[in-house]
Every structure is written in C-alpha cells, then in structure tokens.
C-alpha cells in the first residue's frame, strides 16, 4: 500500500486468567509514528477466535465488571458443545460474538479521538492461550 497506510503487530501476554488488557498507550505510541499529525482511522484487530476488542473505561472497576458480566452470560461450565481445552473453553469461542475482534476509531490531528474515560482494550477470557497478537492499522 502507499505511504498513507501503516500497520504494526503487538505481541501481548495475557496470562492464564481472564483479562482486560489496556492497549491505549500502545495505540497512542503507534499513531505517533504512523499518523504524524494526520486525520484518519485506526483499526485494532485481534486475529484469534477467542478474544475481542472493547472501548471501555478502565481502572474504576469497569474492566472487572465486564469480566463479571461475561462470566454471567458465558459461564465456564460443561454446557458448551465445543469441548477441547480447559473446562468451559467453548464459551471463549462465543466471546467474539459479544465483544467483536475489531474496532475502528477516528484519529484527529494524529491523536486517537477517544472520550474522556474511554480506553481501547483487549478482552481475553481464554485461559488456554496466554499469548495474543493485536494488529494496529492506520489509514489516513
């Protein structure tokens, strides 16, 4: 592609528990080199069948509330037909239907145009895969 498209892959270690991992700082750093003051769009994509991207408030309990809500909606028990991996792993494959594996956000003047309390986060409930990749792509 031409010089108006830039991409980078982040390697993230999420560990063996459910996690909401804040990507905002990494997105901001990426845009510093990719956007260089331009307007455009930032796409965040996680190429995994058991993770998603959310734009939420973090640090005030909302990230824990999200994980609790997902546990209520998608219990880690034996009800799932998809049965490989740890107990209840089938729910992890349903997660991307509720928390999409992508988000596209506006970039204004080279900066992510988030609201005051918004953060870009990787949502990972899969205890069987502690390593994730997240692709950041800027078009502007």
Architecture of domain 5-139: Sandwich (2.60)
Q: Show the tokens assigned to 65.
A: 């509330």
**Measured between alpha carbons, how far is 112 from 89 in angstroms, rounded to an integer?**
34
pLDDT tens digit sequence for 65-124: 999 999 999 999 999 998 888 888 999 999 999 999 999 999 999 999 999 999 999 999
Q: Which phi and psi (to 5°) does residue 21 adopt?
A: -110, 120
Domain ranges of the chain: 5-139
pLDDT in tens, 29-82: 999 999 999 999 999 999 999 999 999 999 899 999 999 999 999 999 999 998
pTM: 0.94
Nearest to 140 by CA among 16, 41, 12: 41
């Amino acid at each position: 592609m031409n010089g108006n498209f830039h991409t980078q892959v982040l390697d993230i270690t999420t560990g063996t528990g459910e996690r909401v991992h804040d990507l905002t700082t990494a997105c901001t750093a990426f845009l510093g080199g990719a956007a260089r003051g331009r307007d455009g769009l930032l796409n965040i994509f996680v190429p995994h069948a058991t993770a998603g991207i959310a734009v939420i408030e973090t640090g005030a309990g909302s990230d824990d509330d999200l994980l609790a809500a997902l546990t209520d909606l998608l219990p880690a028990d034996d009800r799932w037909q998809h049965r490989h991996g740890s107990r209840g792993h089938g729910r992890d494959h349903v997660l991307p239907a509720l928390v999409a594996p992508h988000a596209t956000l506006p970039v204004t003047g080279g900066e992510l145009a988030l609201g005051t309390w918004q953060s870009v986060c990787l949502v990972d409930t899969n205890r069987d895969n502690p390593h994730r990749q997240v692709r950041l792509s800027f078009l502007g």
